[in-house]
Structure 1
Amino acid sequence: MSAPPFVTAPPLSGVPHGFFGREGGVSLPPFDSLNTGLGSDDGAEKVRENRRRAADALIEGAPLVGLYQVHSPDVVIVTEPWDEDGRPKADALVTKTPGILLGILTADCAPVLLADREAGVVAAAHAGWRGAIGGVTDKTIGAMLKLGADPRRIHAAVGPCIAQKNFEVGEDMLAPFIEEDPANARFFREGARGKAHFDLESYVAARLAGAGIGTVWLAGEDTYGQPERYYSYRRATHEEAPDNGRQISLIGIAPEAR
């Protein structure tokens, strides 16, 4: 059995990590094939097998720790694994415990993986627009600092997410960003239908840079526009699909790093 394909970020080289897509799993249509979303109508055993395949591609046999994601800025520091039924409601994970993989699910939102190799601290964050403006990346970095990380040493990678050209938004979303900072207008542009389009990837990158992160890498992969490679909640909505899968992004510390 070959490992499912995944994207890696050069600045995180040497740290077990990967942004997985929808390829290389066991789920049948319409979830084909690496659906890792426990909340979908896909069979639970298939989802668990897909999650295991992704985890084993990075650290074989490592426990995978995830969350019940709620589009919040909340962060959990992980010291030991928990059962999937005991997942806390939050949107970011931080650890300095070797041998654990942190997992974030997305289907258009931005997955963010971070690492300070010297301090031995890694993190994973789920940044939808609500979590992003709410400060999920800022709070993730703050939790990393509590474990000994230094923002000047932290490298961050923003994985596949919906591209601006496909992210049409209403005035109700535009308003809080402009209220936060009028300079945020640069992350919006008018689309073909005269409505604003939001650049989630660039906004998340700007928040990371503004928090003092010196290296921010962008995958530049559009989840909406690549149906063969990625799940997309918005695309599924436009296609009136009854359900949609989720891709997973993982990061951890190799056991030998003790």
Structure 2
Amino acid sequence: MTLIPIQAENLSRLPGVRHAFFTREGGVSEGLYKGLNCGVGSNDDVKAVAENRRRASEWLGGTSDRLITLYQVHSDICLRADEPFADRPQADATASETSGLILGVLTADCAPVLLADAEAGVVGAAHAGWKGALRGVVESTVSEMVSLGATREKIAAAVGPCIAQPSYEVGPEFKETFQKEDWSFDRFFTPGQGGRFQFDLKSFVAERLAQAGVGSIETAPHDTYADPERFYSYRRVTHEGEGDYGRMLSAIMLDPA
């Protein structure tokens, strides 16, 4: 099966920048990981994961030995990347000005965010679950890009496929966590059933990008929970009682020199 990634219009218009929000289509993994599982932290066959990562890197025009993914811990930590790391450092975002270096994040409901200032030649990638987004991973990524020469208003950012508000039911204590940070965050919640709420992660991340001064913001309309044929979903497999789940790769890079 052919890889069929999703691309954002604002990033696609940028010269010298390549990106993709890969779906689970086109991979070699089998069973509950069926498809393009790129998560080295899953219990999938390591050879299958390596082949999936090779295919994704090749689709972008790069090589898998130049693909960076992190040991994601829902933090606000963004690391500068000049070369592939010797291991998987604990962090949730990277920024780089190095051509041919593929910055990747792995998700299965959390929001992947890809960013670029084509004029400055700086790109970034962030894993934004609710904890990381609330802690400031978006702001950390933009700040690190600026330190590399990017200009906030010239940065284009895209929020890729993630769990959508109709599928993201949370309890009142979850909402209270956001209200304690800022009462205005109440607007990202709508009433659900039985005293629960529906959280809009996608809009929350987009708002954080706007507050960080990013000039162009685009959000993908897809719901990872509601589309098992195209997307892995942690919440879905939890509800179905499955033991593990695949991870989708979202990646960005500057054209190889």
TM-score normalized by structure 2? 0.96
Cα distance in 2, alignment partners of residues 192 and 116 from structure 1: 42
More displaced 10-residue stretch of structure 1: 33-42 or 115-124: 33-42
Match of 1:24 in 2: 26
Tell me the matched-pair count.
253
Let me know the Cα RMSD of the aligned residues: 1.1
What does residue 105 of structure 1 align with? 106
Deviations 1:82-122 (A, max 9, x none): 24xx1110000100000110110000000000000010000
Q: Match of 1:250, SS?
A: strand
Aligned to 2:171: 170
Q: Does 1:61 align with 2:63?
A: yes
1:199, 1:152 → 2: CA distance?
25
Counterpart of 1:232 in structure 2 is 233
Alignment-derived partner of residue 38 in structure 1? 40
Once the two structures are superposed, the pairs formed by residues 1-258 of structure 1 within 5 Å of their partners are 3-13=2-12, 14=15, 15-61=17-63, 63-83=66-86, 86-256=87-257
What secondary structure, in the 3-state scheme, does the structure 2 residue paired with 1:30 have? helix
2:224 corresponds to which letter in structure 1?
T
Question: So what's the TM-score if we normalise by structure 1?
Answer: 0.96
**Equivalent pair of 2:62/2:100 in contact (CA under 8 Å):** no
- The whole-number CA distance in structure 2 between the counterparts of 1:3 and 1:73 is 34
Give secondary structure in 2 for the equivalent of 1:248: strand
- Structure 2: how far apart are the matches of 1:61 and 1:214? 30
Could you tell me how far apart the structure 2 residues matched to 1:82 and 1:88 are? 8
The question of whether the paired residues in 1 share the 8 Å contact of 2:29 and 2:44 is answered with yes
Amino acid at match of 2:161: P
CA-CA distance at 1:194 after TM superposition:
3.2
Which has the larger displacement, 110-119 or 38-47?
38-47
Say whether the 8 Å CA contact 2:62–2:256 is kept in structure 1.
Answer: no
What's the % identity of the aligned pairs? 52
CA distance in 2, matches of 1:214, 1:80: 28
The one-letter amino acid paired with 1:29 is G
Distance 2:67 2:173 in 1: 36
Q: Cα offset for 1:3? A: 4.6
Query: Within 2, Cα distance between the matches of 1:32 and 1:210?
Result: 38
**Paired letter, 1:11:** N
CA distances 1:168-217 after superposition (whole Å, capped 9, x unpaired): 11222211211221111110011134311110000000010011112100
- For residue 41 of structure 1, report the CA deviation from its aligned partner: 1.3
Q: Give the gaps of 5 or more residues in structure 1.
A: none
Where 2:153 maps in the other structure, the secondary structure is coil
Of stretches 170-179 and 23-32 in structure 1, the one that deviates more from structure 2 is 170-179
| Residues 140-188 of structure 1: CA deviation (Å, up to 9, x unaligned) | 0000010000001000000000001111112222112112211111100
Asked if 1 retains the 8 angstrom alpha-carbon contact of 2:11 and 2:116, the reply is: yes
- Structure-2 separation of matches of 1:193 and 1:173: 15
Aligned equivalents of 1:60, 1:3: Cα separation in 2: 17
Asked whether the 8 Å contact 2:62–2:102 carries over to 1, the reply is no
